[in-house]
């Protein structure tokens, strides 16, 4: 039986290959759309990983998340630096990183923070930020650029840039010309909003805005490191900088059980009105609000699946229907109906399975070749595995359709007269 199936396919190798190729292209198209849909969702909801809480001034959850992670919009009010230090020292907190936004450069947001953001910020299953070019220090008047910002602005390590107060696509009268920044490093692409940021130190932000230098300013219990916003002491001859306000701060806790008690403590803080949110939960809420975009991709996937199934039916039926004479000869030699039906089903399953494997092989090659381009241009990271629920359903339906398609010509063959199949064509 197996030898007969293999011999039959080998005899019709061109038609068999074209049939498997049509299945492969259908699988490639459907799986590609499905992977893009799934990748877009994962890239959005996995913008941050390992950050358990985002805290800022009293506001809505979505605005707090948008300007803290996506750098979209502006906060209605700031949070005191003292509150950041207070919760950084909280027994449940493993680390805390401040964020300060408000300036821009040619449409890209400038983010004031501390150097240890590279150490603690994680995205997509715990991946760390990595430096593509230059040396990272986030020293005063040094800037670190996300990959998208560097590419679109065409900046390289060592170039100088002037920041603009507020959000503006062009440089104008609100430029901080007296304090130019030098690009010291460029980050590798992450597929997150981090790629579009320009990162500087908190001290640089304060100095750029003309805040007074102070060697005497100390909040109660604050050490020099936390007051200046640096993880190391200022260089020789530099004075520490007074930092009063920041936009928000990211928190990582020591144990997961500490998350909810810490959130409650922040939200109920009597010294300053604060809001604490769970970034993962809020990201899911935002995606649900934008669910119509995902539904459009789902609709495209369904249309592709229906087209693929129709294409499979036509290709297999056309291939098998032409074998009426072959089946008639087998019948004349005494082949039982079940054996002929099994032969047709086996060939159909081989072609369908071969097409599935070839389709996913093409998808693997495409995702490998264009992975960096998709991540850089569309901030979407896709891979072949794991399979989504819709893919599993599609593959099962495709294989089932292959079996049904094989039974249709078998049934039609047995309804035709045996002598008709044995007649010599004129």
In three state form, how does the secondary structure of 237-302 look?
Answer: CCCCECCCEECEEEEEECCHHHHHHHHHHHHCCCCCCEEEECHHHHHHHHHHHCHHHHHHHHHHHH
Residue 285, domain member (yes or no): no
259 and 131 share a domain?
A: yes
Do the domain assignments include residue 213?
yes
Q: Please report the pLDDT score of residue 76 as a whole number.
A: 82
Of the candidates 277, 302, 333, which is a domain's last residue?
A: 277
Distance CA 303, CA 380 (A): 22
| Domain endpoint, select from 251, 277, 303 | 277
pLDDT of 176 strictly over 70: no
- For residues 357-376, give the mean pLDDT: 84
Domain region containing 36: 2-44+291-422
Average pLDDT over every residue of 39-59:
84
Q: pLDDT value at position 210?
A: 62
Instruction: Specify the number of domains making up the chain.
Output: 2
Average pLDDT over residues 115-134: 89
Q: What pLDDT is attached to residue 233?
A: 41
Residue 286 counted as domain residue: no
Higher pLDDT, 312 or 183: 183
151 inside domain: yes
Q: Is the pTM of this model over 0.85?
A: no
* Residue 76 falls inside a structural domain: yes
For residues 91 and 150, state if they share a domain. yes
Output the average pLDDT for the chain. Answer: 79
- For residues 219 and 154, membership in a common domain is answered with yes
For 160, residues 6+ apart whose C-beta sits below 8 A from its C-beta are 180, 181, 182, 183
pLDDT at residue 227, as a whole number: 44
pLDDT at 253: 94
Say yes or no: 236 and 88 in one domain. Answer: yes
**pLDDT at residue 42, as a whole number:** 74
- Do 243 and 364 lie in a common domain? no
Q: Is residue 302 part of a domain?
A: yes
Q: Nearest 5 degrees, angle CA 244-CA 245-CA 249?
A: 125
Is the same domain home to 93 and 185? yes
**CB neighbour class for 61 (10 Å; exposed up to 12, middle 13-18, buried from 19):** middle
Does residue 284 lie within any of the structural domains?
no
Note whether 30 and 97 are same-domain residues: no
Asked whether residue 63 is domain-assigned, the answer is yes
Residue 112 has pLDDT above 90, yes or no: yes
**What pLDDT sits at residue 89?**
94
Instruction: Specify whether 108 is located in the same domain as 205.
Output: yes
Query: Which of 10-14, 70-74, 80-84, 345-349 reaches the highest mean pLDDT?
Result: 80-84
Is pLDDT larger for residue 367 or for residue 318?
367
pLDDT exceeding 90 applies to what percent of the chain? 27
72 closest CA partner among 82, 84, 63: 63
Quick one: pLDDT at residue 331? 65
* C-beta of residue 347 within 8 angstroms of C-beta of residue 402: no
Same domain as 244, residue 160: yes
Q: Output the CA–CA distances (angstroms, integers) from residue 107 to 154, 176, 237, in the order listed.
A: 14, 15, 34
Final residue of a structural domain among 250, 277, 304: 277
């Amino acid at each position: 039986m197996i030898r007969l199936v293999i011999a039959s396919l080998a005899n019709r190798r061109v038609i068999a290959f074209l049939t498997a190729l049509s299945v492969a292209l259908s699988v490639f198209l459907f799986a590609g759309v499905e992977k893009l849909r799934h990748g877009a969702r994962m890239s959005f909801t996995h913008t941050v990983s390992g950050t358990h809480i985002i805290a800022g001034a009293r506001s809505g959850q979505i605005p707090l998340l948008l300007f803290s992670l996506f750098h979209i919009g502006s906060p209605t009010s700031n949070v005191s630096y003292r509150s950041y230090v207070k919760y950084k020292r909280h027994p449940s907190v493993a680390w805390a990183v401040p964020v300060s936004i408000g300036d821009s450069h040619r449409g890209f947001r400038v983010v004031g923070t501390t150097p240890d953001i590279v150490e603690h910020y994680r995205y997509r299953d715990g991946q760390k930020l990595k430096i593509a070019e230059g040396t990272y220090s986030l020293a005063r008047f040094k800037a670190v650029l996300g990959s998208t910002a560097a590419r679109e602005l065409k900046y390289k390590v060592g170039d100088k840039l002037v920041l603009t107060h507020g959000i503006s696509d062009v440089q104008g009268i609100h430029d901080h010309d007296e304090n130019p920044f030098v690009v010291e490093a460029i980050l590798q692409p992450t597929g997150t909003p981090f790629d579009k940021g320009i990162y500087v130190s908190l001290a640089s932000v304060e100095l750029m805005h003309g805040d007074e230098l102070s060697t005497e300013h100390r909040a109660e219990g604050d050490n020099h490191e936390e007051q200046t916003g640096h993880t190391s002491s200022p260089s020789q001859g530099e004075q520490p900088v007074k930092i009063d306000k920041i936009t928000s701060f990211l928190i990582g806790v020591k144990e997961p059980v500490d998350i909810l008690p810490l959130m409650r403590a922040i939200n109920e803080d009597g010294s300053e009105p604060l809001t604490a949110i769970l970034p993962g939960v809020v990201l899911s809420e935002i995606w649900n609000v934008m669910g119509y975009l995902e539904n459009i991709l789902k609709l495209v996937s369904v249309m592709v699946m229906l087209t693929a199934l129709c294409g499979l039916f036509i290709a297999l039926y056309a291939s098998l229907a032409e074998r009426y004479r072959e089946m008639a000869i087998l019948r004349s030699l005494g082949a039982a109906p079940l054996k002929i039906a099994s032969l047709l089903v086996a060939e159909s399953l081989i072609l369908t399975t071969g097409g599935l494997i070839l389709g996913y092989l093409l998808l693997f090659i495409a995702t490998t070749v264009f992975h960096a381009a998709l991540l850089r241009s569309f901030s979407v990271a896709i891979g072949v595995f794991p399979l989504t629920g819709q893919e599993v359903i599609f593959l099962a339906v495709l294989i089932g359709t292959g079996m049904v398609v094989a039974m249709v010509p078998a049934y039609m063959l047995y309804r035709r007269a045996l002598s008709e199949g044995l007649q010599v064509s004129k």
